[in-house]
Amino acid sequence: MKVYKNGIYRMIDAVFYSAKDISKLMILIDKYSSYI
């Protein structure tokens, strides 16, 4: 059960990290689109 919970927490962490990366990409796209 402990390993299962750790796996879920790791999945949640991965989702949050990818969401942060996506938000960074969106910000970069907004900056570049303003230059174009």
Q: Where are the domains of the chain?
A: 1-31
CA–CA separation, 28 vs 11, rounded Å? 26
Distances (CA, A) of 1 to 6, 7, 14, 33: 9, 10, 20, 48
pLDDT over 70 at 36, yes or no: no
Nearest-10 Cα torsion for 12, 16, 17, 22: 140
Q: What is the mean predicted confidence (pLDDT) over 5-30?
A: 86
Distances (CA, A) of 23 to 6, 7, 10, 12: 26, 24, 20, 16
Q: Report residue 33 as tokens.
A: 């689109």
Q: What is the mean predicted confidence (pLDDT) over 11-19?
A: 85
